Structure 1
Amino acid sequence: MRRLLLAAAMLGTVSAAHGADMPDLPILRGSFTDGLSNSSHNWDGFYVGGQYGFATTDIDFSHAPKSMTDFMLRDSILQAPVGGWSLLPKNHVQSTGFGAYVGKNWQVYDAVMGVEANYSYMDNISSTASDAMSRILPGETAPTGHTYTYNTTLGGGASLKLKDYATFRGRVGWDGGDFMPYGFAGLAIGRAEVSRFAIVSWQKYDDFDEPVVSGGVTTTVHRHLPAGSDTLSRTEQRTNSFMYGWTAGIGVEYAFCGNFLLRGEWEHVGFSNVKDITVGLNNFRAGLGYKF
């Protein structure tokens, strides 16, 4: 028995000594996954940059004359129907642009939150439209046996040039190491040169049946007689009209050479109408920035 106990003690001593000489590998400490994880980039702080992009823009002129015709035909039977006419088309234009941005990020674990001011100057987002249309419209209540109608013609045109715009947006991103995908949303303000004109002309007619006696025979003759006319016109032009709206989009940034940032993003901007003209654009752009 004493020999068996002595052999067991010697075996334990040799095992302990052998374990002490083994290398200190991460897998033996339970940290093997830490050794394979990606290093995280620090996105926290201020940043600035410049950008260049390509924009596709829809300019909707369809109701551009509306507020002018509403004023010219105010309190008349023609105001509502003429104001609802879609006289002009929606035009699609394309242009390049460039600008700059500045912002600040706050990082909490892998989440990156920030605010940014962004400015874009557009090279040539401009479009013009003009057209004319005529309709016969019912008139006001007439005396018994009579019917009033208006042969009405609306002509008009409009032009708009978007000079530049700025956005103020918040964004949320995810720290993917050297990459950060993000989404953003915020407010937009644009500056445009706008002009438009409208011409409304109408001829009023009185329709009625009149009995005519000829040679002792009475016949009924339909009369279609002019009962008044007018031509009205109005023109407006603004060198700097401000448009307000919203923006939203997605993008991705790549950090390289320390604090340099390369970005690509898609931005949609929707502006409320200016002079009854609405503008919506999609901007695809690339940027280069630096984080302090």
Structure 2
Amino acid sequence: MNRSLLLGAAALLATGTASFAADLPYPVKAEPVQVFVPAFSWTGFYLGGNAGYGWGDSKATDVLFFDSLGGVYTPGGLYAGNDVKFGNMDGWVAGGQIGYNYQFTNNVVVGIEADFQWTGAEDSRSFYATVDGPYYQTSAELEWFGTVRARLGYAFDRLLVYGTGGFAYGKVSGSTTVMGLNGAGAPDFTTAASGSYDKVNTGWTLGAGLEYALTDNWILRGEYLYVDLGDTNVTTYLAGAPGSYVSAKADLTSNIVRAAISYKF
């Protein structure tokens, strides 16, 4: 009888265990956790530096020499000079920029930027006003320039394509030496009188560029700018010849290609 009870108990236990196991849920593989990475935004302030190369032209037109002295020239005489063009106003540029961008939900980006550049653009020329003189030695230099520009672009995530334009200003300096001719028709350096000038010109600029966000903060740029500093009347008083001076109308344009890196806050 004991053996029958034991067998019955074992059978009941086995049946209950199997039934309990059948009721347990099967393990289900957990869904992978999705990490949300926000899209890059160009909105924010930025500050950086840049360097590149510039090439351009400067022209002096209506060059006139007014002489109040006797000797080499007739007192009070008026001598016209040939128009002179400085065609190799080339050199390096380097400086910094600061600005702000705002990106709309449709990926259009608007902004404003100011920059300041030092340059090494300069050139010199020599010429005769007439076969009888006077003889001119002239130079021109763009020492520095700056711009304040609006920017409009479209963002392809971390790539920004934009156009830009606005106000430009820059310091143009130069020098002029005037001398008569000797009996052989060559410049007579004993009659030389020289002067220099500095002018801050204003004008406009247009350009375009590409920017790429290397990280959420560091942005690399390539940019082209056309800068027109307009024309201005320049008067150069000649040291050593009191009352004598050279007048001209001068203008300057420049093409700038530069690379920049900025830190976005």
TM-score normalized by the length of structure 2:
0.65
What residue number does 2:15 align with? Answer: none
Give the 4+ runs in structure 1 shifted more than 3 A. Answer: 68-72, 152-155, 197-201, 232-236
Distance in 1 (CA, whole Å) between partners of 2:62 and 2:201 is: 15
Structure 1 distance, partners of 2:117, 2:175, is: 22
Aligned to 2:94: 98
- Aligned in 2, Cα 1:277/1:234: closer, same or farther, shift over 3 Å? farther
Q: Does 1:51 align with 2:64?
A: no
Shift in alpha-carbon separation, 1:69–1:248, aligned structure 2, 3 A: farther
Instruction: Give the CA deviation at 1:199.
Output: 6.2
Cα distance in 1 for partners of 2:192, 2:91 equals 33
Matches within 5 A, 1:56-205: 56-61=55-60, 63=61, 65-66=63-64, 68-69=65-66, 83=80, 86-109=82-105, 110-122=107-119, 124-134=120-130, 153-198=133-178
Aligned length: 199
Q: Which runs of 5+ in 1 are unaligned?
A: 1-38, 136-151, 202-231
Which structure shows the bigger proportion of residues in strand conformation? 1
Report if aligned partners of 1:188, 1:244 keep a CA contact under 8 Å in 2. yes
- Quote the offset at 1:65 in angstroms: 2.3
Equivalent position of 2:262 in the other structure: 289
Percent of residue pairs bearing the same amino acid type:
25
Give 2:155's aligned amino acid.
D
Q: Distance in 1 between matches of 2:226 and 2:68?
A: 34
Shift of 1:234: 7.3
Contact 2:152 2:162 in 1 (8 A): yes
Equivalent residue, structure 2, for 1:9: none
Cα offset, 1:69, TM superposition: 4.8
Instruction: Tell me how far 1:64 sits from its aligned partner.
Output: 6.4
Deviation (angstroms), 1:197: 4.5
Look up the SS of the partner of 1:258 in the other structure. Answer: coil
How far apart are 1:154 and its partner, in Å? 4.5
CA drift of 1:200 comes to: 8.5
Distance 2:177 2:59 in 1: 15
Deviation of the 1:45 alpha carbon: 1.2
Alpha-carbon contact 2:56-2:90 (below 8 Å) kept: yes
Instruction: Kindly state the Cα deviation for residue 127 of structure 1 after the two structures are TM-superposed.
Output: 1.1
2:52 is matched by which residue type in structure 1? G
CA deviations on 1:153-197 (whole Å, 9 max, x unpaired) are 443232112111110111101111110000001111111322224
- Greater share of residues in helix: 1
**TM-score, normalization by structure 1:** 0.60
Give yes or no for the alignment of 1:267 onto 2:225. Answer: yes
Kept in 2, the 8 Å contact 1:50–1:101? The answer is yes
Q: CA RMSD in A?
A: 3.1
CA 155–283 in structure 1, closer or farther in 2 if over 3 Å, else same = same
Q: 1:273 to 1:197 in 2, by over 3 A?
A: farther
Q: Which amino acid aligns with 2:41?
A: N
Structure 1 position 255 matched with structure 2 position 253 = no
Q: Any idea what SS the aligned residue of 1:49 has?
A: strand
Shift of 1:264: 0.3
* 1:277 Cα deviation after fit: 2.3
Contact 1:64–1:196 under 8 Å retained in 2 = no
Contact 2:53/2:92, CA 8 A, preserved across alignment: yes
1:53-77 alpha-carbon deviations (Å, 9 max, x no partner): 011121223x2624x45999xxx9x
Superposed CA deviations along residues 117-159 of structure 1, whole A, max 9, x for unmatched, are: 011111x211111211427xxxxxxxxxxxxxxxx74432321
Measured at CA, do residues 155 and 246 of structure 1 come closer, stay the same or move farther in structure 2, by a change above 3 Å?
same
Write the letter of the residue equivalent to 2:103: Q
Question: In the alignment, is residue 237 of structure 1 matched against residue 190 of structure 2?
Answer: no
Counterparts of 1:119 and 1:200 in 2: how far apart (Å)? 41
Q: Matches of 2:121 and 2:87 in 1, distance apart? A: 11
Structure 2 gaps, min length 5: 1-37, 70-75, 182-190, 235-248
Residues 34-58 of structure 1: per-residue CA shift (max 9 Å, x gap): xxxxx74211111111111011121
Query: In the alignment, residue 187 of structure 1 is paired with which amino acid?
Result: F
SS in structure 1 at match of 2:84 = coil
Do the aligned partners of residues 286 and 196 (structure 1) sit closer, same or farther apart at CA in structure 2, a change above 3 Å counting?
same
